[in-house]
Structure 1
């Protein structure tokens, strides 16, 4: 593979891997982080990136699992397998591995999704909670076993404690005795070789009987074990031997059990180390606010708001970069310290990070291509040992790049052709770029040469870019602008640094006319670009304002629909209450009639029947008034020009709708009015007579009819009386239904009816749509609308005629 360590150092991948290593917990996972290398296999890169992204997604949902500093226990397990007894320290390390395994399994069980790119590693974990719990209980540290390691060990240690206490009591009495104190160096009890002794002055050796176990450094003190406690000390030593035998037995038992679990424990360790590495990758991505880019091998790189991961995020300026779409060669120009080299390193480093399965610090929508070779020459690589100049070192590196470059290579060259005569250097740089372009390499290079800028303008597949420079503040903005060549701004920078104006003016006069024209073109392009960016920013501002306004309108619409539904529900409840009341009142009337029927033969029946009828009419009128959900309209001085009769067209003031009088008003002033498909009993005070406009008479028709001697007056009168304001065409085919509707509308127009209803049903919607589409073009139709609640809703169409 063409990705060597030199390129890693140039692009600073090793520093990113050091950051990754710092986030790992165990020694082997830290080493694995430092050993991560880019892969040039598309499948491998996608797989590794999917594992990193999976670790991050799971961490976001459930938090990052806890990782501990665990060590490789394979050597200890191999020794246990061979029959050896493990030390407490070795068992302690095995216990840590088992504890890490338990933690990871418990954490993974909390995840709802068990089918993730990292699931295979969790499946390689084999928890043994029983062994871990016993090791946890038994081992205090690498030097001591707990009393709870076994009942026998606790019993032996209790006996040792009791025996030791008894010896101390005996010796305490001795050293407190006035007869013995005068022989002692100090009135204390101490230990020598695991036995209790007292410090006796050398000159009184014969006055305290016992066994001597040593002398002090000065020889002035003898440590004597009194005869009275020799037997007790012997008993303690025997118990201590038993204690050690029990400890050895416990360690042997644990060693055998660990040996039996050798494959599982080793699998646990390997899986834990790998998971530690992947979650470290996820944590590094989270710290960098990174994303997982789309990965391909088509040579296309797209970076949105990409940041160099080793520059302070409060100082780094994000760049937008693309290559491999309309062009494969990008020439970046601009002043020194303007960000050209940082751009090269950012592109190269983020590509390497992606190929390592690391997420990149950028925004969504990024795309990275996998390359077989990433070839870079960035910075001054002068070799003193080889006595090479900067230019020689530079061209030596470029030669290696040319030899290795192909269509699967990403080439990054800083200041191509620099360090020699500008004319020759520019010509050489153009020639090198052309060679790299011909072999199909993706090339990103920086330059100051005008000839390379011109070459990029004139050559297909080659594009200019510039690192923006603010001439007013004399500072670079570090913003990468693709499609526009940049200026070195040498004169402006020199002037700002205090170079005399006459020196700068003379320098300008030395520039050829062609170069001056080119600089003016660049200036014009830059001004046009800045103007376009300002317009784009303004357009984006207006778009956001429009989006905000649209959201506000949607919220208002949503609130309106909620309020509407609330009011409709309220009206439905009121209507339901009215219906229930009507039902109760009707039942009361039925009961009253039943009672009257039973009293038919009694005196005064006729009068009672009349009273009941009158009461029934009064009750029903009251119910009709209550059933009207529309609020009362204020009274005015309107008086009907004549009594209403059947067939009159009236305006219902409550609803502002027209209707047809079905029955003349009764003695209470109530009459039935047909409005659409609804027939309602209404007080005449709420009605306004609508005078029909007589259609203009056609003289020729009148003359023709007169000639025929046929009178139409009676016929028209009968049609008006019999004609209905409803047409039911349910079940008709579309063309048949429209034909019937046309005849119906013509008759209604001739009859002076202004509001009619067509019942077509909902069904599949074919007949409904055909009716409404036809009404749009009908010359006699003023307007139409679907029915509302109580009229048949979308199953009817209410038509207002001209």
Structure 2
């Protein structure tokens, strides 16, 4: 991209704003080198990376990498055998630790499914593990020097050094604290000269302190003397210090050797982190301008809905849709000065440069551009005193260069084309230049004041007019761009607002050429229609966004429904399997109990059999059965109705009804159950029993229930019952005495043994009541 266009469009100011969001020197260097590119593969890759960086920035939990530094020079020195300092080793350690933090962060985001980061996840998974390097440096180095325990030798040396320093300090402190020496010393302190500990002695008493003079004051009144009593200790200290330096150098060379072995890996992780921060800085800038990632198309396109200049104040800037229609190659913008024509040109040019730099652009969603090899500009005052060129000449010099270099992969921006010379010649020259651009199939935008160019698009194909709106009422521009509408002259309206005599304006209207008047009327109509179309478009955009939001919400709800549906089905399958397993086990237990009862000598009792059958029914979902029954039939249960008891699977007769419950007789068992547990059935047809009518015959039951009776009363009732049964011509009756303690059963059977009307008797079968009944056969 040519340098002139970058300067005129102020591309460097955008880079400065991106640079301010960089966290470290590595990414800053990449931003300094940033330039627009026409390489589609590079640009596509950059925009993919930018999208992932944008997603990371939106999380608001980025670890940060301000400690990342450029270490290629350090790793190179280590590789050729140089020794790195503690500070330099710490820089490498910090880079490794920053990488580890981001590796964990990126992979957690990606693997957790919250954020889709395929490029970064794949890249970070391939990065080498260098934690052992940073751990080794951390173990041996603090922020400025080696730790005492970096090696056992270094530890011993530093302990000796501390001991000697302490002895020297103690001796010097005793000298300066001595009362006899107070007047001999300039100050009662120990200080340092030439890396040796000394005391400040007044010049007249220097002979009282034999030793080495390391310095004197500017006035000559103070001598800094190292007393002989510590000279030997200081010499020992120097020797120890030399040994310490040797050991420190040995350890640092050892650490540098470790760095040399993995210098390529260290450079790799540093480059990856620098690239990530570089993309994050671009994403942060895009977020700050509320920009979007452009769509890059193969066919030539400039489609910028609601675009604005990124360097203008977002709170006040007017957003305009700059869209080259189908098969449009040139756009001619007309309108008043200070109306925003030049800003429109710069907006288009700068947005193209930003898009081809892999940056987000200031426009609405759906913004699309193609890749251009060059952006040429002729914008602003190019007058040059040094070259003795007028404004027109300087512009024409630039235009000549543009016409030579442009091709169908270029975008050309002309500001006030043909200005600075005779209007008629300038207009003709402007049209000729635009014709040349059309011949070369160049995408062109031009601004002009010439009225002749308003009709230019009507006489040429692939050309569209545009204008910047002017509010006659306020006598100020609105900065709105009207695509497809040429600008009209507002001279008469403005003059009228400013108070010019109406007769003068009327005379002027008569002088104006009829064709121009018709053109102005046509432009007025176009402006009105364009405003209406723009309003309709805005309303459609709003409706479209609402529809998209509704579609998104419905899609999310549908996906959630489908997800829950699959989950519920799977859960139901598991529950069903569990229910079946439990039911099978319960059924096995019931069958086992029935078999056990069958083998007992005393037989199976009826109530136990009913209970066991009811347990089989309990294996079904009682609520579902009742619910299904309710759906099938709305029934009314009344006393005397024959019903089926759903929970027990037995037939019975309703004895009484109380609100939502009823008492049912099932064989010899009475139970109170809810009405929902009954299904009404047709009564069985009575069996025809032939009997011999007797005089004074009373109707009695074929069973006598003595349960709860006193012993004596029970026998009286038994005697009367047998007489009535015999009169009723019953062959067999049942005496219900219950189990209890067995006393009533024994008394009944003793009576039956003596009774003349009894042919025989036996205990009840399980289906008849078992031990709780005695079946009597009458004569």
Fold similarity call, TM over 0.5? yes
Deviation at 1:538, TM superposition (A): 6.9
Q: CA deviation at 1:118?
A: 4.4
Per-residue CA shift, 1:394-420, capped at 9, x if unaligned?
Answer: 222222222223222222112222222
Q: Residues 618, 537 of structure 1: CA spacing in aligned structure 2 closer, same or farther, 3 A cutoff?
A: same
In structure 2, the residue matched to 1:436 is 437
Deviation at 1:571, TM superposition (A): 8.8
Partner-residue secondary structure (3-state), 2:310: coil
- Alignment partner, residue 232 of structure 2: 231
Residues 77, 623 of structure 1: alpha-carbon distance in 2 compared, 3 angstrom cutoff: closer
1:14–1:494: structure 2 CA closer, same or farther, 3 Å change rule? farther
CA distance in 2, matches of 1:534, 1:187: 89
- 1:334–1:486: 8 Å Cα contact kept in structure 2? yes
1:134 to 116, 133, 136: 136
Structure 2 distance, partners of 1:39, 1:176, is: 76
Number of aligned pairs?
Answer: 600
Give yes or no for contact 1:52–1:282 (8 Å, CA) kept in 2. yes
C-alpha distance in 2, partners of 1:253/1:553? 64
Compute the displacement of 1:317 (Å): 1.2
| Aligned position for 1:98 | 96
Partner of 1:409: 410
1:40-88 residue CA offsets vs partner (Å, 9 max, x unmatched): 2323322222222222123334744522254433333333333322233
Is 2:189 the partner of 1:188? yes
SS in 2 for 1:95: helix
CA spacing shift, 1:584–1:279, aligned 2, 3 Å: closer
C-alpha distance in 2 between matches for 1:301 and 1:337: 24
State the distance in 2 between where 1:98 and 1:613 align. Answer: 84
Structure 1 pair 117/393, CA: closer, same or farther in 2 (3 Å)?
A: farther
CA contact (8 A) 2:309 2:347 kept: yes
List per-residue Cα deviations over 1:687-710 (Å, max 9, x = no partner).
Answer: xxxxxxxxxxxxxxxxxxxxxxxx
Cα distance per residue 1:249-305 (max 9 Å; x no partner): 222212222222222222233333323322222222122222112112311111111
| Alignment partners' CA distance in 1, 2:667 and 2:77 | 113
Over 3 Å counting, the alpha-carbon distance change for 1:232 and 1:499 in structure 2 is farther
> Which residue of structure 2 lines up, in the alignment, with residue 311 of structure 1?
312
Q: What secondary structure, in the 3-state scheme, does the structure 2 residue paired with 1:180 have? A: helix
Matching of residues 665-680 of structure 1 within 5 Å:
none
**Pairing partner for 2:118 from 116, 119, 125:** 116
Q: Deviations over 1:213-244 (max 9, x none)?
A: 33333222233333433333333333222222
Change (3 A) 1:443 1:288: same
Aligned: 1:218 with 2:219: yes
Task: Say whether the 8 Å CA contact 1:331–1:462 is kept in structure 2.
Answer: yes
Contact 1:191 1:197 in 2 (8 A): yes
Greater gyration radius? 2
Higher mean alpha-carbon deviation, 578-587 vs 376-385, is at 578-587
Q: Distance in 2 between matches of 1:239 and 1:260?
A: 32
Deviations 1:470-496 (A, max 9, x none): 222322222222222222424434555
For residue 123 of structure 1, report the CA deviation from its aligned partner. 6.0
CA contact (8 A) 2:626 2:676 kept: no
Secondary structure, aligned partner of 2:118: coil
SS of equivalent residue, structure 1 residue 337: coil
Query: In structure 2, what is the Cα distance between the partners aligned to 1:153 and 1:324?
Result: 77
Distance of 2:301 and 2:412 partners within structure 1: 13
Task: State the Cα deviation string for residues 505-546 of structure 1 (Å, max 9, x = none).
Answer: 555444211101110111122223334555666788899999
The answer to whether structure 1 residue 360 and structure 2 residue 358 are counterparts is: no
- Residue of 617, 627, 638 corresponding to 1:575: 627
SS of equivalent to 1:112? helix
Query: Would you say 1:35 and 2:36 are equivalent positions?
Result: no
Distance 1:502 1:455 in 2: 33
Greater CA deviation, 229-238 or 386-395? 229-238
Contact 1:418 1:425 in 2 (8 A): yes
SS of residue matched to 1:362? coil
Q: In structure 1, how many angstroms separate the alpha carbons of the residues matched to 2:22 and 2:479?
A: 34
User: Secondary structure of the residue that 2:650 maps to in structure 1?
Assistant: helix
State the alpha-carbon separation in 1 of the partners of residues 538 and 473 from structure 2. 21
Change (3 A) 1:372 1:234: closer
Shift in CA distance, 418/236, structure 1 to aligned 2, threshold 3 Å? same
Give the C-alpha shift of residue 369 in structure 1: 0.9
Q: 1:217 to 1:285 in 2, by over 3 A?
A: same
> RMSD of the TM alignment (CA)?
4.1
> Contact 1:339 / 1:478 at 8 angstroms: preserved in 2?
yes
Counterpart mapping for 1:197-596 below 5 A: 197-323=198-324, 325-496=326-497, 504-505=505-506, 507-533=508-534, 575=627, 582-584=645-647, 587=650, 589=652
Residues 450 and 202 of structure 1: is their aligned pair in 2 closer, same or farther, counting only changes over 3 Å?
Answer: closer
Range moving further from structure 2, 537-546 or 246-255: 537-546
Alignment of 1:769-784 (within 5 A): none
> In structure 1, how many angstroms separate the alpha carbons of the residues matched to 2:108 and 2:233?
58
Counterpart secondary structure, 1:111: helix
Q: 2:83 aligns with which of 72, 85, 99?
A: 85
Q: How far is 1:245 from its partner?
A: 1.9
* Aligned with residue 4 of structure 1, among 2, 5, 8: 2
Q: Distance in 1 between matches of 2:358 and 2:313?
A: 22
Q: 2: distance between equivalents of 1:533 and 1:666?
A: 87
| Separation in structure 1 between the aligned mates of residue 300 and residue 554 of structure 2, nearest angstrom | 45
CA distance in 1, matches of 2:285, 2:547: 38
SS of 1:516's equivalent in the other structure is helix
Deviation at 1:13, TM superposition (A): 1.6
Q: C-alpha distance in 2, partners of 1:389/1:396?
A: 10
Alpha carbons 2:83, 2:256 under 8 Å: kept:
yes
The question of whether the paired residues in 1 share the 8 Å contact of 2:21 and 2:284 is answered with: yes
- In 1, the alpha carbon distance for the partners of 2:85 and 2:204 equals 46
Counterpart CA distance in 1 for 2:59 and 2:550 is: 34
Tell me how far apart the structure 1 counterparts of residues 357 and 495 of structure 2 sit (CA, whole Å). Answer: 43
Report the equivalent of 1:712: none
Q: How far, CA to CA, are the matches of 1:352 and 1:422 in structure 2? A: 33
- CA distance 1:207–1:450, change in 2 (3 Å): closer
Aligned residue in 2 for 1:703: none
CA distance in 1, matches of 2:549, 2:106: 42
Q: Give me the whole-angstrom Cα distance separating, in 1, the residues matched to 2:500 and 2:245.
A: 88
Give the deviation of 1:371 after TM superposition: 1.4
- Provide the C-alpha distance between the structure 1 equivalents of 2:510 and 2:542, rounded to a whole number of angstroms: 44
**Unmatched tracts of structure 1, length 5 or more:** 555-568, 593-610, 629-661, 668-802
Helix, strand or coil for the counterpart of 1:331? Answer: strand
Residues 67 and 95 of structure 2 are in contact (CA less than 8 Å); yes or no, is this contact kept in structure 1? no
Tell me if the contact between 2:644 and 2:650 (Cα under 8 Å) persists in the aligned partners: no
334-343 or 110-119, which moves further after superposition? 110-119
Kindly indicate whether the alpha-carbon contact (under 8 Å) linking 1:183 and 1:200 is maintained by their aligned counterparts in 2: yes
How far apart are the structure 2 equivalents of 1:539 and 1:86?
A: 65
- Residues 36-75 of structure 1 mapped to structure 2, 5 A cutoff: 36-61=34-59, 63-68=61-66, 70-75=68-73
User: Which range moved further: 387-396 or 219-228?
Assistant: 219-228
Q: Which moved more, 1:264-273 or 1:361-370?
A: 264-273
**3-state SS in 2 of match to 1:472:** coil
Could you say which residue in structure 1 is the equivalent of 2:11? 13
Indicate the SS of the match to 1:224: strand
- Cα pair 1:105 1:127 within 8 Å, conserved: no
Q: Which ranges in structure 2 are unaligned for 5 or more consecutive residues?
A: 556-620, 632-642, 656-663, 687-779
Contact preservation (8 Å) 1:448, 1:488: no
C-alpha contact 1:137 1:149 (8 A) present in aligned 2:
yes
Contact persistence 2:291–2:360 (CA under 8 A): yes
CA distance in 2 between counterparts of 1:456 and 1:103 reads 59
